[in-house]
Amino acid sequence: MLTLRIYLDDVTHDNAPLDVALGSHLLGYISEAHVPEVVAASEIFICHAQAGDVWAYATPILHASCRSTNNSARRVLQIDYCAAPLPPLLTWALTL
């Protein structure tokens, strides 16, 4: 699986950049109970971006963002690609 994030606005430290636990996508299924342990053991990369940037990453990587501390927009178009059926325990959530 692959995710593309197309940034429509700048993302700085104070408007909720994506934090990524590097390498977590290589660990396979991680139960919710083990997420804090994996994150604590991982190097965290903070994804600052400029409007027009496109980020590509392995979809199962652990990632999160905090709340924005300013009123700036942080619009992102996210597209998920998968060339095979989803692995066990995962299903597509369709939102419009």
pLDDT, tens only, 15-43: 888 899 999 999 988 999 999 999 999 99
For 48-74, what is the mean pLDDT? 88
The one-character DSSP state at 42 is: S
| pLDDT reported for residue 39 | 93
**Distances 51 to 7, 11, 48, 54, 66 between C-alpha atoms, Å:** 5, 8, 10, 9, 19
The pLDDT assigned to 92 comes to 74
Domain that holds residue 27: 2-81
Note whether residue 74 is domain-resident.
Answer: yes
In the chain, how many domains are there? 1
Classify residue 8: in a domain, yes or no.
yes
| 93 is a domain residue | no
**Tokens encoding 81:** 């690609």
Maximal CA-CA distance, the chain:
40
In a domain, 89, yes or no: no
**Structural domain contains residue 87:** no
Question: Residue 77 falls within a domain, yes or no?
Answer: yes
Q: Please report whether residue 66 resides in a domain.
A: yes
Mean pLDDT of 54-63: 88
- Asked whether residue 30 is assigned to any structural domain, the reply reads yes
pTM: 0.74
